[in-house]
Amino acid sequence: MAHTVAEHGKRISRIVFIGLLLDILSFTIILPLLPRSLEAYKEREGADASTLLGTLLAHIAHLRAYVQAHSPSSRFLQQGARADLVLLGGLLGSLYSLLQCVIAPVIGRAADRFGRRRTLMYCMAGNIVWTVIWVFAGSFESFLLARVIAGLSEGNVQLSNTIIADVTDPTTRSHGMALVGIAFAVGFTLGPSIGAFFARMPIESKSTRNVFAFAPFAAAAVFSLALLVAESLYLFAKLPETMHFRRSLADSNVTADSGTEDTEIAQPLAEPIHAVDAQTTTENNRTLRRLNILHFAYLFFFSGMEYTLTFLTHDKFDFSNAQQGALLGFIGVTSTVLQGGWVRRIKGQSAHGDKGLVARGMACCAIGLACVAHCAQGVQGAQPAWTLWGGALGFAVASATVVNCLNSMVSLATTDMETGRRLGDFRAAGQIGRALGPVFACSVYWLLGPSTCYSVGAAAVAAISVAFVTLVPARPAVSGTKKHS
């Protein structure tokens, strides 16, 4: 019976993986297109003070003039309006993540109350709505509305982690969570390249101010919409509810002894619910608080530096959409290879695999940021130095390890009935970092230049790595004995 239950859990994990892969492919299509999308909107309406974009750019220009007047030594600001798009991009990125921060706890509690499947389908409906608006975002206002709805609808990663936590036990959870990382890696490998490919297929609008005018790179938006529709249909047809998947071994044995089977509902995992004493609960709560704080701090710097990368290559090296896709694709390919090989091997060899991988990922991230800081010192318009690719390698290692393994550590420190809430709170802490990180990084970039920006990021991530190793135990405190299925 335990073997049958474990196989059923693996089947659900595969369904989640396929759905999440489609979701991340759709999400990453827009990434290499953001800098040139903002440029396209600026060309359409940036000079019109009656538009939202024109007003925002005018305020940024006034702020730039004020800073230049009071700090003439800020040489980077002498580049003028070209740098303004970097700051505008940071504001957009922070708005998106701030909305995710607000909605993540709501999604987590909804998943615990109404079920994982129903909550996920509501999120998919929101994703489809924002992508339809993106297709017809002929104005910056429409594009902004699409991004707002996107931020309030993106719960797929959080819910995927919760579902995998439902159907795995502590001995297999790290491997289950690794599927999320692999989906991210494959998505970041293919999604940006797909976006760059469809960006070559312009869909022209007769009017740039009509509500039904097509967005810049609308063909990419149409393909993104097709992926989301396919994902929604697939999950609706294949994914069962998993909220009550994990029950006591006794219940499982009673079902087996009675000779009855329910083929419509996911079977309970053969894992006894263990008693957790007050001391263990206190220790795990302390660990969870520290993980939330470190998750926030890490993503504050990592997401900010990651978000500015395509703006750096566009602004400093004039990368095309195809070159942006190639850079992000390199990060994705490398992350995929690491997830499928090195990460899984380390997890299997050591009981403390998650903590070790997080520490190594943070260290590689710090080294990668230092490489990008060195590269950013190059001449404007010149070819990027090899250190850009060294930085991309550091990003890839971090993407393959850090957040993935932190999710696994959080799920192991929670009780069955709190998984959705705890992962929701953990994701919310990270989303606060993601909300503040881009605007912070883009502001430093705008004021002091990219080299200083990435140097600050490298030093900060190195310090966070040391704090993580010092403050977080390798495994949560657990009372009782768990049976391995």
Rounded mean pLDDT of 154-162?
A: 89
Tell whether 248 is covered by a domain. no
- Residue 160 pLDDT: 92
Q: Residue 185's closest CA among 430, 345, 396?
A: 396
pLDDT of residue 447: 83
Calpha distance 431→336 (Å, rounded): 23
Q: 220 in a domain, yes or no?
A: yes
Question: Distance between CA atoms of 23 and 227, rounded to whole angstroms?
Answer: 7
For residue 247, being part of any structural domain is answered with no
Q: What is the percent of the chain where pLDDT is above 90?
A: 35
Residue 355 falls inside a structural domain: yes
Cβ neighbors of 72 (< 8 A, separation 6 or more) are none
The CATH number covering residue 334 comes to: 1.20.1250.20
Residue 46 lies in a domain: yes
From CA 86, how far away is CA 83, in angstroms rounded?
5
Structure confidence at residue 77 (pLDDT)? 55
Q: Is pLDDT at 131 greater than 80 in this prediction?
A: yes
pTM: 0.75
Give the Cα separation of 322 and 331 in Å (integer): 14
Structural domain count of the chain: 1
Average pLDDT over residues 167-190: 80
In this predicted structure, the answer to whether residue 298 has a pLDDT above a threshold of 70 is: yes
Give the pLDDT of residue 127: 96
Q: Is residue 350 part of a domain?
A: yes
DSSP symbol at 206: S
Q: What is the extent of the structural domain holding 157?
A: 2-241+280-471
pLDDT digits (tens, 9 = 90+) for 335-346: 888 877 777 777
Average predicted confidence (pLDDT) for the chain = 82
pLDDT in tens, 73-116: 555 555 566 678 888 888 898 898 888 888 888 998 899 899 99
- Cβ–Cβ under 8 Å, residues 43 and 93: no
Mean pLDDT of 205-232: 82
Structure tokens at 477: 């405190």
Query: Does 365 map to a domain?
Result: yes
Q: Is the pLDDT of residue 254 over 50?
A: no
Please tell me the predicted confidence (pLDDT) of residue 3. Answer: 57
Residue 212 lies in a domain: yes
pLDDT surpassing 80 at residue 404: yes
